[in-house]
Amino acid sequence: MTKLNAILQARIGNHGPISIADYMAECLLHPELGYYSRRDPFGAKGDFTTAPEISQMFGELLGLWLAQSWIDAGQPPSFVLAEIGPGRGTLMADVWRATKGVPGFHDAAKPYLIEASAHLRSVQKATLGGVNANWVGTIDELPDAPLFLLANEFFDALPIRQYKRQKSGWSELLIGGNADGLCFGQAAPSPNTSLDHRLDDTNEGDLVEVCSAMQGVMETVNDRIKTNGGVALVVDYGDWRSLGSTLQAIKSHAFVDVLTNSGEADLTAHVDFEALANAAPDLNYSRLTPQGIFLQRLGIDHRAEVLGNQLSGAALESHKAAHHRLTAADEMGTLFKVMAFYAPNSPLPPGFQQ
């Protein structure tokens, strides 16, 4: 049992069960014992490896995607270049390096990192030494300007609630306690009009997930891009409509028990991209596109070849493996999806098809 697990057991013993969202929020961002508050979980020695940590090509291509989107928007002379949930800061560092040669882009860009964890902010500051970047805790604190936003593996880290469909209404799944520790339980069914849109595609006994923190973020993206212009690119694992439990805990690159590793394992849920689109009703959105296809349309195969020509031996092998990992269907290529949100009256951003 972890220290945070003991604290949550005592709290639940005194005050009753909590929602899965409250449990996730404590596990991920508890100020002293939360997963992201204490550690740098990324990379081979950590718990999971994200695309920007696999290869510089990911950030380079996303940087050029942003630059092209900025050119297509008429090159606004001052804009916010933001990343939400930036981890180690590697993606932003690669974006910044890759866009150095785009005339006017760096002069116009105000880089912002939106990060909740004080510990990861300090890691990002070290990574981004040469970039004149700013940090905020929430997306609402960004200055009012055209917004060009990246979110890679951010939305999966936001707390979700789960509801099971019953004969009459929906039962929320809750986390309570018993003699053995924390356990899942179910609240009594009650009507829930916010789930009316799921009545057509679900049956009694089906489970759906709802991410209200996502809705708050996407409403801000919606308002900013609608008013000032810009684009947002979301990359994450998930699908068009969530059905069934996707809550998972990962530690040292393996799945572990959700309820016993509180604060010691990464807790995530798959992203429901339809819910993202519904939360940004004033924006256009692209087709949900597999990451592998998107990166290939942006030219990853050519870039991989150019970089590969400068390498040999083990470095070349690991470069080839990274290319495969980002794009192959049996690796991240299909599980991870990409979707762009953009201002009405703007062209479809590069890498997507109508």
Residues near ligand SAH, by CB under 6 A: 36, 42, 50, 52-53, 85-87, 91, 114-117, 120, 152-154, 157
* Closer CB to ligand SAH, 207 or 279, in the complex: 279
* Closer CB to ligand SAH, 116 or 183, in the complex: 116
Strand-pairing partners, residue 114, are 84, 136
Rounded to an integer, what distance in angstroms lies between the CA atom of residue 45 and that of residue 275? Answer: 34
Find the shortest distance in angstroms from Cβ 40 to ligand SAH.
9
Find the shortest distance in angstroms from Cβ 170 to ligand SAH.
25
* Closer CB to ligand SAH, 119 or 316, in the complex: 119
Find the shortest distance in angstroms from Cβ 87 to ligand SAH.
3
Return the sign of the alpha-carbon dihedral for residues 268, 273, 277, 278: negative
Find the shortest distance in angstroms from Cβ 279 to ligand SAH.
15
Strand-pairing partners, residue 164, are 171, 207
> What would the two tokens of residue 340 be?
């762009």
Contact 233, 348 (CB under 8 A): no
Contact 311, 319 (CB under 8 A): yes
Find the shortest distance in angstroms from Cβ 157 to ligand SAH.
4
Find the shortest distance in angstroms from Cβ 145 to ligand SAH.
20
For 306, the 3-state DSSP assignment is: helix
Q: Specify the DSSP element, H or E, that contains 22.
A: helix 20-29
* Closer CB to ligand SAH, 160 or 343, in the complex: 160
> What would the two tokens of residue 353 be?
């098809």
Strands (E), the chain: 18-19, 79-84, 109-114, 134-136, 147-152, 161-165, 170-178, 181-186, 207-210, 230-239, 248-251, 254-256, 266-268, 271-272, 284-285, 289-290, 336-342
Rounded to an integer, what distance in angstroms lies between the CA atom of residue 33 and that of residue 117? Answer: 12
Contact 229, 73 (CB under 8 A): yes
Rounded to an integer, what distance in angstroms lies between the CA atom of residue 64 and that of residue 159? Answer: 31
Find the shortest distance in angstroms from Cβ 164 to ligand SAH.
26
Residue 330 φ/ψ, nearest 5 degrees = -90, 5
* Closer CB to ligand SAH, 152 or 162, in the complex: 152
Place of tokens 């380079």: 60
Find the shortest distance in angstroms from Cβ 36 to ligand SAH.
4
Find the shortest distance in angstroms from Cβ 128 to ligand SAH.
13
* Closer CB to ligand SAH, 86 or 230, in the complex: 86
Contact 244, 269 (CB under 8 A): no
* Closer CB to ligand SAH, 157 or 283, in the complex: 157
* Closer CB to ligand SAH, 23 or 36, in the complex: 36
* Closer CB to ligand SAH, 157 or 269, in the complex: 157
Q: What is the dihedral of CA 105, 107, 109, 110, to 10 degrees?
A: 170
